[in-house]
Amino acid sequence: AELGTNGVSWTINSYVIDSGDYNYVLNDSTPLEKTIPELPGAEPVNLTNDTFFKFFDEDGILRESYTDDELVFHGLFENLTGVNTIIIDRPITLISDNAVLNNIAISIIDDGVKLSGFTFNADHVEFNANGGAVVYVSGSDVEIDNVIVNYDAPGEVEAIAVYVNAADNFALTNSEISFVSTNPGNKHNYGLKVRNSETAVIDNNI
C-alpha cells in the first residue's frame, strides 16, 4: 500500500485503520485509489446512554481523551452500571439535547463549568458520596441555567437537591427545584444549600 496522510488518496489492496473508536476496513481485489476521511472518523459519536462509557470511565469521571470544551448530552440517561454520579473535573460547557438523568447525580469539582438545560429526577435515592446532593458544586465560577431538579428524598439521610460548597461566584438562574422530604427531623434536608461561598447569584428560579 502507498500510505499518505489523512484526507489524501491511498493506493491499497486491503488495509485496516484502527483509530480507537473507529475502524476502517477497505478490501479490493485489484489496486485502486481510495480517499480516506480525516481520522479519527468522519462521523461524530454522540453522547447517549448507550455511548456514555466512551466519554466517562467506570467511576463516572470524564475521560482525559475527551479534550473538547463542550459536551452535549442527548436524551435519557439511567441504569449506568456502577455509576450514579457524573464527575466533572475540568472547565467545560455541558449542554442538554432533551437530556434527562434518572437517579444520577452530578458533581462539579473544578472551576469554570457551565451546565444548562438538564432535568434531574431522583426518587428515594441517597447520594452520600456526593454530599447528599443531586447537584453538587465545589468549583468556582460555575454557572447553572435552565435546569430542573426533582428530588423525592429518602428518609433518615442527609438530602439536598442543589448543594454549593466553597464555590465562589456561583450562579443559579432560570431553574426549578422540586424537593420533597419526609425526614422526621434528625437529618438535614435542603432544596438549595449554599455555604462558604462568596458572591452567589440566585435569580429567577422556582
Closest by CA position to 111, among listed 77, 140, 148, 86: 140
**What integer best gives the mean pLDDT of the chain?**
85
The C-alpha atoms of residue 62 and residue 54 are separated, in whole angstroms, by: 9
Q: CB-based burial of residue 58 (10 Å sphere; 0-12 exposed, 13-18 middle, 19+ buried)?
A: exposed
**With contact defined as beta carbons under 8 Å apart, do 71 and 99 qualify?**
no
Grid cell 439511567 is found at 78
**With contact defined as beta carbons under 8 Å apart, do 103 and 75 qualify?**
no
203 pLDDT higher than 80: yes
**With contact defined as beta carbons under 8 Å apart, do 197 and 170 qualify?**
yes
Per DSSP, helices labelled H in 38-118 are 52-55
10: Cα within 13 Å, side-chain hemisphere: 20
pLDDT digits (tens, 9 = 90+) for 39-66: 444 345 689 999 999 999 999 999 999 9
Range picked from 6-20, 135-149, 174-188 for highest mean pLDDT: 135-149
Q: Quote the pTM value.
A: 0.79
pLDDT digits (tens, 9 = 90+) for 123-177: 999 999 999 999 999 999 999 999 999 999 998 899 999 999 999 999 999 999 9
The per-residue pLDDT for 27 is 53
pLDDT digits (tens, 9 = 90+) for 75-87: 999 999 999 999 9
The per-residue pLDDT for 11 is 42
Greatest CA separation for the chain:
78
**With contact defined as beta carbons under 8 Å apart, do 150 and 124 qualify?**
no
**With contact defined as beta carbons under 8 Å apart, do 31 and 2 qualify?**
no
